[in-house]
A and B are shown apart, each in its own frame.
Chain A
Amino acid sequence: MTEFASVGGADNVAAAARGVTKTFGRTLALDDVGIEIRAGESHALVGRNGAGKSTLVSILTGMQTPDAGEVSFFGEPAPPVADSAAWRRHVACVYQKSTVVPELSVAENLFINRQDLGGGLISWKKLRREASSLLETYDVAVDPDSLVSTLTVEQRQLVEIARALSIGSRFVILDEPTAQLDGPAIERLFDRMRSLQDKGVTFLFISHHLQEVYEVCQTVTVYRDARHIVTAPVAEMSKPDLIEAMTGEAGGLNVPSGDDRPSSAEEVLTVSALSGDHFSDISLSATKGEVIGLAGSASSGKHEFAETVYGLRKPSSGSISVDGASVRGGDVPAALKAGIGCVPRDRHHQGLVLDLSIAENATMSTAGAFVWPSAQRSAGSTAIASYDVKAAGPDQPVSDLSGGNQQKVVMARALAGDPSVLVLINPTAGVDVKSKESLLGVVDAQARRGKAAIVVSDELDDLRVCDRVLVLFHGQVVREFARGWRDQELIAAIEGMSSE
C-alpha cells in the first residue's frame, strides 16, 4: 500500500546523524557521534548500558534536540522538533515499553489521532475496514476489534510496526524488541524484518544479544562511553572483536563455568510435587553449592515455578522446605525467614523502588525494626563495593543508575540476608556484557560459599554457570542436562523439539 519502490539505490542513506553532542546537566550523553544508516539495510546499534544508545534514539526520533550536530533523512535535514507529525513520517520507533493505548481497539490504535481518516467524523465501519486491510497488507493475524491489552507482546509489536509503516515511515527503530519474546517469536520477528527489508524498509536494531546482530543485521555500529567506536559490516566483525569494541577490552565474555566448584551431598532446598499457576508436580532438590538452571519458553511455567518457591505465588499443592524445615507457601516474609533470597523477574516492576536510594533498596528485605540512616548508608556502601555498583554513593536514587547497575542493587537486596537458597529470575536481563560477567561472577562466588541457587533464564551464558539445567515445557520438567551440553541440543529442548 505504500510506494516503497521510490527508495533509491543501496548507497542511498535513509537516516544520518553527524557530529551529534548532547549533555544532560553535567552528564555528557553523546560526544560528537555520528551514524549513517543505508536505505534497505538492518543496522545494529550496540553498546553497553550508558553508551548513549537511548539518547541517540531519542534524537533520531525527534524527542530531543542535540546540543550540536545534525540529523537528516534521505539527505533532507530533519524537521524541527516541534513538528512531531513530520518526524513520524520519517521515522518510527518500537520501544521496549509499549506506545499503544491498551484499552483501545487495535483498529483505533492503528489510526490513533487520525481516526476520522480525513473525513472529520469518525466512521467506525470504515476505520475497521481500513485497519483490516492494513493488517492484511503486513500479514498480521490480529482481529482489529480486539483490545490491545489482550494481545501478546509479539502481536503488540507487530501492530506498532504496521502503524509506523502506514504513516509512511520507511525507517523503523527497534529498541530491544526481543527482550520480552521467546525463541520462536524472535525467529518470526526476524523473518518479518527480512521480508520488509526486501520491500525497502530500513531498520535500526538495538539489542543486548550479540547473536541476534549476526543473525539479522548487515552493518553494526558500536558506541562506548558516549563516543562512536566503529561501524563495520557484520560479516567482517568477529564476536570477540565486537565485544572488544563494546568493552574496550580484548577477549570474549568471561563467564565463570564453575567446573571446579566443590560439590556437597548436603541437601538445602527440597521441593516436592509442587503444583501452581502454569506448572504441575515438579520436584527438585538442591545441595549446598549447587546451581540449577531452569530453561524453557515463556509459557513453560519456569517463572511461575520460581516465583512460587519464593512465595510470590501460592502453590496449589506440594511442599517446599529449606534445611529440612517446611516453608509456608505464598508468603514472601516466611520464605525470606527460611533463608530464600530472590532476584525477581523484572527489576522495574518488582525489583526496585526507583525513587528510593541504593542503600534503602539494598536493605529493604533485611532492615530491623529500627532503621538508622547511618547504618543503612554503610550497608549501602558495602553493597556498592561488594557488587561493583557504579554509583556516586549510597544515597543516590536507583533511578539514576544504568540497567546493569540497577540489577546489581537487586542482587544485593536478594543477598542481604545471607540466604542459603537463591532464586534468580532473568538475573542478567537487559544488562551489558560487563555487568553480566560481574553478576554471574557473584552467582558463582555465592555457590562456592555453599549456597544453593536456581537460575531461571533463556540466556545460554546464564545457564553455563549451572551444574545442571532442567528444561520445562508446558509446566513440566521434560529434560535434564548435565554440564557440557551443546547449545543446539539445549535450544532444541527449549523449543519443544526434544522428543527425537
Chain B
Amino acid sequence: MTKAMTPTVSAPATAEKQKFRLARYQDLALVPVIILLLIIGAILSPIFLTPNNLIAVLTQQSELSLLVLGQAMILIVGKMDLSLESTVGLAPALAVALIIPSSAGGLDVGFAAWLALPLCLLIGVAIGGLNGFLILKVGLSGFMVTLGMLTMLRGLQLAITEGKSLIDVPESFLYLGSTTWLGLPAAVWICIVCYAAGIFVLKYLRAGRSLYAIGGNSEAARAAGIRVDRVVWTVLIIGSVLAVIAGILMTGRLGSVAATQGEGMIFQVFAAAVIGGISLQGGKGTLFGALSGVLMLGLVEQILRLQGVSGFYIKASYGAVIILALIVTRFATGQKQE
C-alpha cells in the first residue's frame, strides 16, 4: 500500500522539521559508538588513548578503509565488486614482476623501476574496466562476474609468482608504506585525502549525486538525462584503482607482496560498509558513515588485541564483533538493514 496519508491538523510543522534535521545527521549515528569504544579502551588499557596507539589503529585500518571507500561507492550506485581483494594482491605483484628479473621471481620484462606506480594504477583501471565491460556491455550478473574475477585474479597472481612472496619491492612503494608527513603516516594522509575528495564529490558534484539517483532508481536516472552506464563504469574503475592504492600501501608497509595479499578482506569490507549505513540495495548511505564503520571495526580489533585475546580465538571474536556491531548499528540508526 502507498504511504499517502493526510497529516493531522494538530501535527505542527516543527515536528516535521525536527524529523528532517535528525535525518540529516543520520550518518553521525556511529559517532557516539566510537566515543564509547574510546572510553572502554581507555578503561581497559592505559596506553589506549596515547597518540601512538591511535595512529597505529589508523594505519592498520588505512588499507581496509580505501577498499571500503571504493566498495561503498559501488554499492551506492547499485552494484557490488567482490574482486577488490584480489586486485589488492595482483596489481602490485604484476607490476613488481614486470620490473624485477626472473632471478628475483619476476617475469624478466625489465621495465624501469619508476614505472612501478603508474603500471600498478593502469592495472587497476584495466581490471575495473573489464568488470564494467562484462557487467554493462555483455550484460552479465555483477555478483557472478566479480566472483569469477576474485578467483581468476588471485589465480593469476599465484601463476605469476609461483606462489612465492616478491621481496624485491621498488623504492616508491617502500616510501609510501613507511614515511610520515607532519607526524602522520603517508598512508593515513592518503586515506584522509581520498575520503575528503569522495565525500565532497558525493555531496557537491552533480556527477556524485548521480550515484544516488542511479542506485535509487536507474530508470528514473536515465529519464533524467544521466548517462547511467558511463557513471557506473567510472565508479567500478575508481573502486579498482582504490584497491590498487590499498595494495601499494600494504606492499610498502610489509616490504613484500605475499601471494595471499588481501585475501579474505572483502568480508570486512562489506561488514564495515553495512555497519556504516551503506545499503546493499543501492542508493543509500554516505561515505562518512562508511568511514565510521571502518573506524569502529578498527577500535574493536585493537581493544581485543590489547586485551591479549589468544590468536586462536581472535578470528571467532572478530566475526562475533561484526555481528554485534551490526546489531548495535541496527538500533543506533533505527533502520532495518537490507
A46 CB contacts on chain B under 8 angstroms: none
A116-124, A230-238, A242-250, A369-377: which one contacts chain B?
A369-377
Q: Which residue of B lies closest to A372 (CB)?
A: B204
Chain A, range 322-376, C-beta contacts under 8 Å to B: 332-333, 335-336, 342, 344, 349-356, 360, 364-365, 367-373
A28 touches B6 (CB 8 A): yes
A23 CB contacts on chain B under 8 angstroms: 8
Given contacts A353-B212, A367-B209, A370-B204, contact A396 B20 (CB under 8 A): yes
Task: Annotate A47-68 by CB proximity to B: 1 below 8 A, 0 otherwise.
Answer: 0011110110110000100000
A393 touches B6 (CB 8 A): no
Please pick, from B3, B15, B220, the residue contacting A351 in the complex, using a CB distance under 8 A: B220
Please pick, from B2, B17, B208, B220, the residue contacting A352 in the complex, using a CB distance under 8 A: B220
Please pick, from A50, A312, A413, the residue contacting B5 in the complex, using a CB distance under 8 A: A50
A134 within 8 A of B: no
A54 touches B220 (CB 8 A): no
Considering the chains assembled together, what is the distance between the CA atoms of A351 and B224 in angstroms?
Answer: 8
B205 CB contacts on chain A under 8 angstroms: 369-371
B112 within 8 A of A: no
Considering the chains assembled together, what is the distance between the CA atoms of A28 and B6 in angstroms?
Answer: 6
A353 touches B6 (CB 8 A): no
B6 touches A26 (CB 8 A): no
Considering the chains assembled together, what is the distance between the CA atoms of A54 and B6 in angstroms?
Answer: 12
Overall SS of chain A's interface:
loop
Name the interface size band of chain A: 35 or more
B5 touches A27 (CB 8 A): yes
B204 CB contacts on chain A under 8 angstroms: 370-373
Considering the chains assembled together, what is the distance between the CA atoms of A131 and B201 in angstroms?
Answer: 56
B203 within 8 A of A: yes
Given contacts A63-B1, A396-B20, contact A369 B217 (CB under 8 A): no
B208 CB contacts on chain A under 8 angstroms: 371
Considering the chains assembled together, what is the distance between the CA atoms of A335 and B225 in angstroms?
Answer: 8
A364 touches B224 (CB 8 A): yes
B203 touches A333 (CB 8 A): no
Q: Which residue of B lies closest to A27 (CB)?
A: B5
A57 touches B1 (CB 8 A): yes
| Those 4 A-B pairs whose CB atoms lie nearest each other, nearest first | A353-B216, A402-B4, A392-B16, A364-B224
Q: List 13 A-B contacts (CB under 8 A).
A: A54-B1, A57-B1, A312-B223, A333-B227, A335-B225, A350-B220, A351-B220, A351-B223, A353-B212, A360-B209, A364-B226, A373-B204, A413-B224
- What would 20 more interface pairs be, CB under 8 Å, given A54-B2, A364-B221, A369-B206? A27-B5, A27-B6, A27-B7, A29-B5, A49-B4, A54-B4, A63-B1, A333-B226, A351-B223, A352-B217, A353-B217, A353-B221, A356-B216, A356-B283, A360-B213, A392-B13, A393-B20, A395-B20, A395-B24, A402-B5
